[in-house]
Amino acid sequence: MNNFVKNLGITAFSALTPLLFFKLLVNIVAKEDVLAAYFQVKAVSTIVFYLLSLKFSDVIYFLKSKSDNSLEQLSGIHFAFALLGFVLAFCFSFTSYFLLPGLFPFISSLFLFISLEIIESKVTLLRLFNQYRGMYLIKSTLLFKPLFFWLFFKYYNVFGDVELKDIYLFEICFVYFLIFIFLARYFKLMDKFFYNIRYLVANKDVLKSTWFANIAKISYDSLPNFLLSLYASNGLYVEYNIARKIYGIIVTGQTSFIQVFNTLSIDFKNKFKNYLYRFYRIMIPANLFGLLIVFLFGDFFISILSHSKYANSDTFIFLIIMVMLSIVYLLLYPIRQWIILNGYLSYLTKSIVLSTLVICSVLPLIPFFGGYLVSVVQPFGQILPIIILVFILPNSLRKRLKMNMSWK
């Protein structure tokens, strides 16, 4: 079976779990202020998550592109990250639950991001080596999350309304259980734990580039979301986050196919035009069709995936803006991929730093333009580094890039 067809199944599983969980969350949590607090805590914890540069999926991909590591080598590196992350997450989350209950939602949200990154980086690793059986197993297991959420809170509602700490307690218990099973399954990799830690530290260029990329995400992702929570009403803030969540699910589908093409691009490093042809032939028609569907049936999807009261013009406009700009990012993405494949990470890092400064300069306008500005900033933060990158490249590299991006 073609890898693209297999990837459709993975994309469906990736979208289905958050869709079901989000639908249940919006409908089970009766208080709008609890929903707003849930999204606000997520935004703040994401800032810390990116500051710690724990987006390990990017590290895995860069290591594969840079040194062509084997599945066994990268599995050992991933296990080292997973073990450290799980031990810290488990200790801090449950300590805060009993000793610092006021901070529990924030701490558990932060370590929930780290735990989910452990799972997603494993999926990225398996995708790089076309190990779709393992990917299906992980994604299908995650489907139990919305099922258990519904069963737990259907019973829990007998005792009163769902509170913020209850939601996070459920999420961390479910995810930690899955990671514990994973660590037990791969504990044989423990013998090279310290070697893999040293190997990670030795690849400073990869860690530096991913750290700057994650810092940049604060400026266009989590920080604007948090600032919006300070100035917008609870209703508008929830509407934006519903649009953002649906957009995020669309991006999950886009990203899963981008990762397939990333794997393919390693084989076409010296024949980049072949990669371009395959990338644009599939990604442009598919995403334009997706935009048309969102434009025609956006209100319907918002109603189905959240609640009918949020299917209004504001939520729809937020969603359309983000989806349209995501297509612009896809058109420019091969430029970024060419830079990574050819090892020019320093230029990518510089463009990310400059982009972050530009994005930060417009954030003070959020109190005046609200959710509309945040909807633009979120996807534009990915587009701007690529545009800047083209201008800061030396003439010789720019000519090479132009030659590789040409259809002639």
Are 96 and 103 in contact by the 8 Å Cβ rule? The answer is yes
Are 8 and 257 in contact by the 8 Å Cβ rule? The answer is no
pLDDT per residue as tens digits for the range 119-173 = 988 988 888 888 888 888 898 888 888 888 888 777 655 445 677 888 888 888 8
Distance (Å, rounded) from C-alpha 95 to C-alpha 104? Answer: 9
Are 78 and 57 in contact by the 8 Å Cβ rule? The answer is no
- Rg of the chain over CA atoms, in angstroms? 21
**DSSP conformation class of 382:** H
The residues, any chain, with a CB within 8 Å of residue 23's CB and separated by 6 or more, are: 146, 304, 305, 306
The predicted pLDDT at position 159 comes to 46
pTM over 0.75: yes
pLDDT per residue as tens digits for the range 243-265 = 998 898 888 888 878 877 877 77
Are 265 and 337 in contact by the 8 Å Cβ rule? The answer is yes
Distance (Å, rounded) from C-alpha 294 to C-alpha 319? Answer: 8
Distance (Å, rounded) from C-alpha 93 to C-alpha 172? Answer: 8
Angle, in degrees to the nearest 10, between helices 366-392 and 345-362: 160
pLDDT per residue as tens digits for the range 191-241 = 889 988 888 888 877 777 778 778 888 889 889 999 999 988 888 898 999
Return the percentage of the chain with pLDDT > 90, whole number: 18
The predicted pLDDT at position 28 comes to 79
